[in-house]
Amino acid sequence: MDQRTFAKMAGPLGRAIQNMISRGTVRLVDSGKKMQSLQVGLLQGETADGVEHFEPFGFTSCPSSGAEALVVFPGGDRSHGIAIVVGNRKYRLTGLASGDAAIYDERGQHIILTTGGIVVNAVKCTINAPTEINGTLAVSGGITGAAGIATTGDATFGGKSFLSHTNGGRPID
């Protein structure tokens, strides 16, 4: 078989391989479906609609317009793309130490798992569950609450023990 015949036969296979993976830019997101759907701008002038965004179990995000996507097309068929990863370098946390891991958003909020502990930076943190803290709790801001405070031990207020403090010579009941 001569080179020209081989090139003619291998051409469709080569094009299919080239069409299997593409890098693109997210334009629109439909996060209301069970499998998030994206519109992605790919090659010059090419738009892929209905690209399924596969996400790791237990983690989901809604990428904003302009995020970058790596899209695969099984068998080179450009009619059904699958985004296997979407990222946005504009908001990505940088400078993490070796072994650190983080989740973040485009508002600057993040949770970083470091060797020294977990660092949380949030606009507001709401916990809708009974919460246990097994260790010391240090608070640099104020504490407010709608319910009382219950303790089985003593409490100190302004350097004075609540249990041993006397008020006008008689202990507080």
Of the candidates 14, 43, 39, 18, which has an alpha carbon nearest to the alpha carbon of residue 29? 39
Of the candidates 60, 16, 71, which has an alpha carbon nearest to the alpha carbon of residue 38? 71
Better-predicted residue by pLDDT, 78 or 38 = 38
Give me the pLDDT at residue 173, please: 56
pTM of the predicted structure, to 2 decimals: 0.73
pLDDT band at 8 (very low <50, low <70, confident <90, very high): confident
Question: What average pLDDT does range 41-57 have in this prediction?
Answer: 93
pLDDT band at 164 (very low <50, low <70, confident <90, very high): confident
Is 80 exceeded by the pLDDT of residue 11?
no
Better-predicted residue by pLDDT, 30 or 145 = 30
Q: Are 53 and 38 in contact (CB under 8 A)?
A: yes
Give me the pLDDT at residue 50, please: 96
Dihedral of alpha carbons 118, 104, 57, 60, sign: positive
Is 70 exceeded by the pLDDT of residue 169?
no
Give me the pLDDT at residue 147, please: 84
Question: What average pLDDT does range 140-161 have in this prediction?
Answer: 86
Helix or strand holding residue 70 (H, E): strand 68-72
Question: What average pLDDT does range 70-86 have in this prediction?
Answer: 92
Least confident of 39-53, 108-122, 143-157: 143-157
Residue 145, class by beta-carbon neighbours within 10 Å (0-12 exposed, 13-18 middle, 19+ buried)? exposed
pLDDT band at 87 (very low <50, low <70, confident <90, very high): very high
Give me the pLDDT at residue 59, please: 92
Give the domains, in start order, of the chain with CATH numbers. 3-87 (2.40.50), 91-126 (no CATH)
Residues near 79 by beta carbon (within 8 Å), at least 6 away in sequence:
none
Give me the pLDDT at residue 7, please: 78
Of the candidates 150, 169, 153, which has an alpha carbon nearest to the alpha carbon of residue 161? 153
